[in-house]
């Protein structure tokens, strides 16, 4: 979607300044927020893409002024309310006020968490159609302004690049965020820096992004 979270390549936000010797967590509540998000997600009531969409949907004033894990916490609160797993009074009181809602999967044990984190979640799927593009294909990222979730960054829309790699078919995040499971082909596409940011960009640099097939169309032939 178009929103405050799509900062890649956006002007006016200043340089990225990595924190020297940054700790994994700055405070205990951040560690707890990550654990709660993973445990709640494992209940099976939403996909990883629905979780991302919940974070993206936060008001820009909140998103741009919140810390990383505050964004996660706010999104988790939204998901839990939307899925009727808790209500506003329970959030305010910090405790359950009614019997737990039955979920698709049971609670996540510590051993299950270790196994799931180590194994990851497979998103590769059997394709429903042949790949439209091959390595070396010249493609153009479509100009889209979706209301829902998308993994196509704004800075690449309308730009031309070259397919570097074909990854096979995977779950399409834009559909997954709406609760649908659609397999589509996934590619790595390389864009020259000057194609993305103009003549002032370093001509020796390229930017590669993972782009799903619905984001791409054949580039116009060069005259």
| Total domain count, the chain | 2
Whether 65 and 112 share a structural domain: yes
The pLDDT score that the predictor gives to residue 119 is 82
Residue 78 placed within a domain: yes
Could you tell me the CATH number of the domain that includes residue 53? Answer: 1.10.472.20
Q: Which pLDDT tens digit goes with each residue over 120-153? A: 888 999 999 999 999 999 999 999 999 899 999 9
What average pLDDT score do residues 191-209 get? 96
At 55, the pLDDT band (50, 70, 90 cuts) reads very high
Residue 95 placed within a domain: yes
Token pair of 207 as six digits: 């930017």
């Amino acid at each position: 979607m178009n929103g405050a979270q799509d900062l890649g390549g956006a002007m006016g936000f200043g340089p990225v300044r990595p924190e020297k010797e940054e700790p994994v967590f700055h405070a205990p509540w951040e560690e707890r927020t990550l654990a709660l998000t993973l445990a709640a997600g494992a209940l099976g009531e939403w996909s990883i893409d629905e979780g991302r969409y919940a974070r993206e949907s936060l008001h820009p004033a909140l998103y741009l002024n919140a810390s990383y894990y505050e964004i996660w916490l706010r999104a988790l609160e939204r998901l839990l309310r939307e899925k009727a797993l808790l209500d506003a009074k329970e959030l305010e009181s910090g405790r359950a006020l009614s019997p737990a809602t039955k979920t698709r999967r049971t609670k996540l044990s510590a051993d299950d968490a270790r196994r799931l984190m180590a194994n990851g979640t497979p998103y590769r799927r059997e394709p429903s159609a042949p790949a439209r593009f091959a390595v070396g294909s010249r493609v153009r990222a479509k100009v889209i302004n979706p209301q829902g979730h998308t993994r196509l960054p704004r800075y690449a829309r309308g730009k031309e690049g070259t397919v570097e790699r074909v990854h096979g078919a995977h779950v399409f995040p834009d559909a997954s965020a709406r609760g649908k499971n659609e397999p589509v082909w996934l590619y790595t596409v390389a864009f020259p820096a000057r194609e993305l940011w103009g003549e002032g960009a370093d001509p020796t640099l390229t930017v590669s992004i993972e782009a799903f097939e619905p984001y791409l169309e054949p580039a116009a032939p060069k005259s």
